[in-house]
């Protein structure tokens, strides 16, 4: 066994995690990276991430985070699997139709990596219970598909001072950003959508090209890992826009709204 004491762990990540030989082999391709090594992998193993929504975005995000060695994944979804979900929600199978999404997702993630902990929440989170669920996690991934829920998650993340990674996709376009609205000069999700009436359309209304949510969900997982390991530059204060038809990627700066009722 190899013991490593990490320095400056983010949020509530504990220290002195011990990796056994199986873990060293499982994560060896990540550990080989000079930007990660043992310290970075230990941070992943000691982290807790809440994923809200196990659909097109949450499916690839959860699978990559589980495979990469996130120690504790908390999955939240109250929906059951429908045949129309399977075109893009790759964590579920045809045999899972009619079952709760979190049950299917948990089974798949444990099969992928039995060494991680997976907790499931088969309920709709609202402003009354979001803060309680978010308080003890390191990062929240918003993989939902409606603006009211996104705004509620954002408010809870600001109040609990928890980083929020928000992804969205519709038709053949995707969007991604990292929000730390609790910081003095960092915008929150409400700064991006100041008017509640700016309701976003869902894929059931507009359609969605399957690989697009896979790309955005995978990028959410990447941003989460970067935050945990303090690696590189994240999309904090920026919005990444992806056009799937042309494969053009644009990044726009997002500033804090001085009149924002949530983060000011």
Give yes or no for a contact between 68 and 30, defined as CB atoms under 8 angstroms apart.
yes
Q: What integer pLDDT is reported at residue 18 of this predicted model?
A: 76
DSSP run (H or E) holding 252: strand 248-253
Tokens of 41: 């992998």
Domain contains 9 = no
Domain contains 26 = yes
Sheet holding 117-121, edge to edge: 117-121, 72-76, 48-52, 139-142, 164-170, 173-179, 238-243, 248-253
Please write the tens of the pLDDT for every residue from 166-216.
Answer: 999 999 999 999 999 999 999 999 999 888 655 556 556 678 999 999 999
Domain contains 4 = no
Backbone angles phi, psi at 44, to 5 degrees: -60, -45
Give the residue ranges of the chain where pLDDT is below 50: 1-16
Residue 182 belongs to domain with CATH number = 3.40.50.720
- 261: DSSP letter: T
In this structure, the chain runs to a length of 264
Domain contains 57 = yes
Place of tokens 């053009």: 248
Q: How many domains does the chain have?
A: 1
Domain contains 138 = yes
Full residue range of the structural domain in which residue 50 is found: 18-253
Give yes or no for a contact between 136 and 47, defined as CB atoms under 8 angstroms apart.
no
Closest CA to 15 of 53, 62, 71: 71
Q: What integer pLDDT is reported at residue 10 of this predicted model?
A: 43
Domain contains 140 = yes
What pTM was computed for the model?
Answer: 0.90
CA 262 to chain centre: 21
Tokens of 42: 């230990």
Q: How many helices (H) and strands (E) does the chain have?
A: 10, 10
Distance CA 76, CA 92 (A): 15
3-state secondary structure of 152: helix
Q: What integer pLDDT is reported at residue 126 of this predicted model?
A: 83
Domain contains 63 = yes
Domain contains 10 = no
């Amino acid at each position: 066994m190899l013991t490593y004491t990490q320095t400056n762990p983010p949020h509530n990540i504990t220290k002195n995690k011990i990796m056994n030989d199986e873990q060293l082999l499982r994560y060896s391709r990540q550990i080989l990276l000079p930007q990660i090594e043992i310290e970075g992998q230990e941070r992943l193993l000691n982290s807790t991430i809440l994923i809200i929504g196990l659909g097109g975005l949450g499916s690839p995000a959860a699978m990559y985070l589980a495979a990469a060695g996130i120690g504790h994944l908390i999955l939240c979804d109250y929906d059951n699997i429908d045949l129309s979900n399977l075109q893009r929600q790759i964590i579920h199978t045809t045999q899972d139709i009619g079952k709760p999404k979190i049950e299917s997702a948990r089974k798949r993630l444990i099969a992928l990596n039995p060494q991680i902990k997976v907790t499931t929440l088969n309920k709709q989170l609202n402003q009354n219970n979001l803060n309680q669920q978010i308080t003890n996690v390191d990062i929240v991934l918003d993989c939902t598909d409606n603006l009211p829920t996104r705004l509620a998650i954002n408010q809870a993340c600001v109040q609990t001072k928890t980083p929020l990674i928000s992804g969205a996709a519709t038709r053949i376009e995707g969007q991604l950003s990292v929000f730390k609205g609790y910081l003095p000069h960092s915008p929150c999700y409400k700064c991006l959508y100041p008017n509640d009436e700016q309701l976003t359309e869902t894929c059931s209304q507009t359609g969605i090209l399957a690989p697009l949510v896979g790309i955005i969900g995978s990028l959410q997982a990447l941003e989460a890992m970067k935050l945990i390991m303090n690696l590189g530059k994240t999309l904090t204060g920026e919005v990444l826009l992806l056009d799937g038809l042309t494969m053009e990627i644009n990044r726009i700066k997002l500033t804090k709204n001085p009149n924002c009722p949530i983060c000011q």
